[in-house]
Structure formats: C-alpha cells, structure tokens
Structure 1
Amino acid sequence: MKKKLLAVLLTLTLGAMALTGCASSSKVTNDVSSEQKTETTDTQKDDNAKEETSNGTARTLEQIKESGEIVIGVFSDKKPFGYVDENGEYQGYDVYLGNRIAKDLGVEVEYVPVEAASRVEYLVTAKVDIILANFTVTKERAEQVDFALPYMKVALGIVSPDSALITDASQLNGKTLIVSKGTTAETYFTENYPEVELLKFDQYSEAYNALLDGRGDALSTDNTEVLAWALENDGFSVGVDALGNIDTIAPAVQKGNTELLEWINNEIVSLADESFFHKDYVETLAPVYGDAADPESLVVEGGVIEQ
C-alpha cells in the first residue's frame, strides 16, 4: 500500500514538474516573441524613416527634426570641398557648412556620397534632404530643384601639364579635354567648343587620374577645384583660371520644399553675423590655397554677391 502511495505521489510530483517546465518554456517563448516583436517594430520604424527619403517625397523641416537626423549629399572625392579623410570622416568646405546646419537644427547628420551627375536625381527622388556638393546654380538645374542663397563664387578653370600648358580654351580644338559628367564644364564645352573632344567620367578621382595618365590634354571643372589640385600635383598648372560666367555655389533642396528652403536661407543670412564662411575658408581652403587665392574672390557671406 505504501509502495502504491509512493508511486502515486511520485507520479504527481513528476507531473507538476513537467507542468512547471512547460510553463517556464512557454514564458521563455513568449519573452523571445516579445523581443522579436520589439525588434521588428524598430526595424519597421527604420524602414519607414528610410522610405520617407526614398519614395520621391521630400521630408519636411518638422519631419527632419522629429527623426533626429538630416541627410546631406556631398562629394567624397573632391578635396578640399567634400572628401573622406584617412580616418573615414567627411571633411571639406561643404561639409563644414553641413555640420553647422545639423548643429543649428539640433539633429545628427548623415552624409551620403554623390556624383556630379546624380545631384539632381538624389533630390528629385528624395534620397537626401539637402545637396551640399559644390552645386553651381544654373537655369536648367533651377527648373528641377530649389536653390538656396549662395555661399561661394566660381568660374571654370583649365589645368594641364606644364610641358604643354593650355592658356586659352581655343587651344583645345582637336584635342581631348577631360570633364566630369553632369558638370557646368561639360555643358559649357559642349555648347561653345564642339571641336573639343570630351572624355567624360562619373567620378572626379577618375577624371584626375586620367589627366595624370595622359589620357587627355587638359581637364576642366570649377577654377577653385583645379587650382587646389594643381597645387598638390607637381608638373601641372592652371593656365586658364576664369572661363565663362562668374557663377555661384548654393545649397539645394527638392523643388517645392519651401519650409526647409526658407530655413536654410535664414541660416545663411544669420551666419553672416559671425563671418562664418570666411571661417570656413580659413579652416578648409586656406591650408590648400595658401596665397594662391584671394578669399574675397570666392567667399559669399549672407547670400549677398559683392560687386
């Protein structure tokens, strides 16, 4: 009888343990499920945030602030305006402004590398909130994006080997000129010098490498850029330092994003009180140009072009 009683008690005990085990197992499963749901929710939030900047509709100023991050398109290979340094950090004249914009908005900044030919596309498709990529204001571009007030003046320049220096654009007739796709240099020479053969590249680094390799007789882009490059590359000089019109560089946003555009314009005007862009020049351009360039011929404060 005692053996039967012990057997019954043992059976009940084992059953209770089994139930406890099942309950514990169920609890762990529920906890994991809860964690998975949380992770899924966070992932969905991230995906939704990314979708806001990739579905073609630009984020509003309020949405940018709420997200805690602004996405800015910059060059990654165009020193000293936008480039990635040896530590993997974005640096340059445009980046200096981007950092300040993010600071004054009270958000973090994500830099997205762009090519010259993709700047308009990245705004139209809302892949970025702002373009700060040495973006020259032109009538054609202004039909597709909205430009803010300018912060720099620029013209075209031509850099070539000292051994065969180009000092006039007409010398390029029948020769090969290297340009980057989607630039004002490409447009200018296509329209005004049809006898010049254009060798086009997507990336600026590719274009300059082509010049170093002797695949072209010269290279043309903004005079501020060719000057910086020539100063760092022996055997090359800027023989033409001001070609075409004096243009301006400005931030750009998706067309119709009025609230963000107005904020940027107000920011540029406000920054003039502290001579921000002269400070930017000293920090990012002066170490490259030295005495070879006059900051007053390049810098624009408060969006006002001095005559």
Structure 2
Amino acid sequence: MRRGFLKFIGAFALAAFVAGCGEAENPKSTNSLDEIKARGVVRIGVFGDKPPFGYVDKNGVNQGYDIYLAKRLAKDLLGDENKVEYVIVEAASRVEFLLADKVDIILANFTKTPERAEVVDFALPYMKVALGIVSPKNALITNIDELKDKLLIVNKGTTADAFFTKNYPNISLLKYDQNTETFNALLDGRGAALSHDNALLFAWVRENPGFEVGMAELGNIDVIAPAVKKGKPELLSWLNDEMKKLYSEKFFYDDYEATLKPFYGDSVKPETVVYSE
C-alpha cells in the first residue's frame, strides 16, 4: 500500500504531504457507522468554489450537485439532512483529509482512478466525466498539438494534472490549488487554455461566452464516486447499498434537474453526466 501511496502522491506533486500523513495511515478509527451515529453528524468533504458541483453561495450556504447528495446521505444515515458538516477541501487535499480522519466521506467531485483506489475506497459512482479543454473563442484550441509552446492551466492534484503529466510531459502546465485561481488565470490570459472535467467546463462557458470547449472529451470516460478511508467496511457497505437505492429512485436525475440544469440549460443531456444504473 505504501508503494502505491508514494506513487500516487508523486504523480500529484504531494511529496510534502508524506511526512504529515505517516502517523495517520493507521490511526484509531473515528468514522465507523456507529461512531458517526454517536457523533450525530456526518463530516463530508466538498468543494467550496466549484459550481455547479460544490460551492458556497453569496449567503454562505453550501450548494451544488454534491451537496444535494450529501443532504440525502445525512437524512438516510442520521434521519435529518441537516446533520452534515461540510468540510471544504481542495483537489490536492482530498486524500489527505480522508487519511487524517478529518472527514468521513469525500464527495468533492472525486474521479475514480486506479492510483487513488490504491489508497482510498470508492463506493459506487454517481457521475460520468471526461477531461475537456476550454480556451478563448478567438484562439480556440481544438487539438492537443496546438498546445505546443503554450501554457496549459490545470488544478493541482486533479485528473487533468495527472493526465498531461503522464501522457504529454512536453506540454507546460501552470498549476493552481483553487478553482477560482485556475479560472481567473484563464480569464487573465496567463495560459492559452485550461483543462478540467468537461462537466464543469460545460457550465463555465455558459457564464463566460468569450470561451468555448474546443475539446470536449480527452482520454477515458471516467466516473465520480464517494470515497472513504480504507479499513471502513461498514461505512463502505452502507454507501454502496445507499447508492443502489438512489439508482432505483432515479435520484440523480432529480439532483441534475435541481442543481445542474440551471447552469447547463438545454445544452447538455442529463445522461451525458448522470450515472444511474
């Protein structure tokens, strides 16, 4: 596991994180089902600046596709959708927060990858996603070869970071921790293009009409799923059963209508992003 862990954080430029997590690899369990119920609140890691998936609105209220799911998990686990503590995480800190027992579940738009699955356990998925590239309409990037000698903006610790680092090491990456910083860098012209989850880019370009998703699907079509710390079989089993129940209810289509469609309009079909067996 440690070899996989070191490989993972190396790929995501988290070498500084190793020392801090050494003592947290096998800490006393603090997030089993019984302990969550005894605590009376489930701690869920979410984004604070990634609309429409996880963000804090102008009134300081957590909103988004992941938040809609988090409320339902709290309701079914603890009987009240308000019995959830939202813990704001960055892309590069999601694994750290699980390993350090700072959260019980990560719902921060977490794409399942083989490297991540070596260090955390993923439950059944709830979204489909691929990488996309957005750029200004007047200098649209429609082919990866067009990124030669240009800067591509990405978030640290994301699948975009890993994908280009591994497959296109000659492309220069400009990396930021927060989504706000990343997209501001594109708006300010600090890079030629930005790569992120296509589901996010579809929403962003509707709010920023000077930009276009010139490449809508790179690499594999992946899935986004809840994640828990390894060694939590009861919690993982409960989550998998919960996801199956939500599939049967078509819950994620309701989630889409409530949280994503206001951002997408009719430009994206629900089945493009919703995973619901």
Give the alignment's TM-score, normalised by structure 1.
0.79
Q: How big is the shift at 1:234?
A: 2.1
The structural deviation recorded for 1:164 is 0.1
SS at match of 2:228: strand
How do 1:146-295 residues align onto structure 2 when only pairs under 5 Å count? 146-295=121-270
In structure 2, what residue type is equivalent to 1:87?
Answer: N
Please state how far the C-alpha of 1:151 moved relative to its aligned partner. 0.5
Equivalent in the alignment of 2:60:
88
CA distance, structure 1, for counterparts of residue 41 and residue 147 of structure 2: 46
Q: CA offset at residue 111 of structure 1?
A: 0.1
- SS of 2:37's equivalent in the other structure is helix
Tell me if 1:110 matches 2:82.
no
Alignment of 1:144 onto 2:119: yes
1:56: Cα distance to partner?
Answer: 6.3
AA matched with 1:96: Y
SS in 2 for 1:177: strand
Task: Tell which has more relative contact order, 1 or 2 (C-alpha 8 A, sep 6+).
Answer: 2
Confirm or deny: 8 A CA contact 1:56 1:125 kept in the other structure.
no
Write the distance in 2 (CA, Å) between the matches of 1:175 and 1:56.
47
Query: 1:240 aligns to what SS in structure 2?
Result: strand
Partners of 2:85 and 2:220 in 1: CA distance: 33
Instruction: Tell me by how many angstroms 1:230 deviates.
Output: 0.9
| CA deviation string 1:217-272 (max 9, x = no partner) | 00001000111111111200100000110000000000111100010110010112
- Bigger helix share: 1
Residues in 2 aligned to 1:67 and 1:222: alpha-carbon distance in whole angstroms: 34
Matching of residue 60 in structure 1 with residue 32 in structure 2? yes
Bigger CA radius of gyration: 1
In structure 1, give the amino acid aligned to 2:221: I
| Distance apart, 1:273 and its partner CA | 2.3
Q: How far apart in 1 are the matches of 2:71 and 2:202?
A: 25
Which secondary structure does the structure 2 equivalent of 1:174 belong to?
Answer: coil
Letter of the 2:107 counterpart: L
Structure-1 residue corresponding to 2:103: 128
The CA RMSD over aligned residues, in Å, is: 1.4
* Distance in 2, Cα, partners of 1:159 & 1:237: 6
Among the aligned pairs, what percent are the same residue?
62
- Counterpart Cα distance in 1 of 2:143 and 2:259: 30
Q: 3-state DSSP class of the match of 1:215?
A: coil
Q: Deviations over 1:88-114 (max 9, x none)?
A: 010000010000000111251000000
1:111 aligns to what SS in structure 2?
strand
Distance 1:80 1:170 in 2: 30
5+ long unaligned stretches in structure 2: 1-26
Q: Which runs of 5+ in 1 are unaligned?
A: 1-54
- Does the aligned pair in 2 maintain the 1:56–1:124 contact within 8 Å? no
- For 2:144 and 2:134, the matched residues in 1 are separated by 11
Which of 34, 42, 46 in structure 2 is aligned with 1:70?
42
1:2-58: CA deviations, max 9, x gaps? xxxxxxxxxxxxxxxxxxxxxxxxxxxxxxxxxxxxxxxxxxxxxxxxxxxxx6634
Tell me, in whole angstroms, the C-alpha distance in 1 between the residues paired with 2:247 and 2:129.
Answer: 19
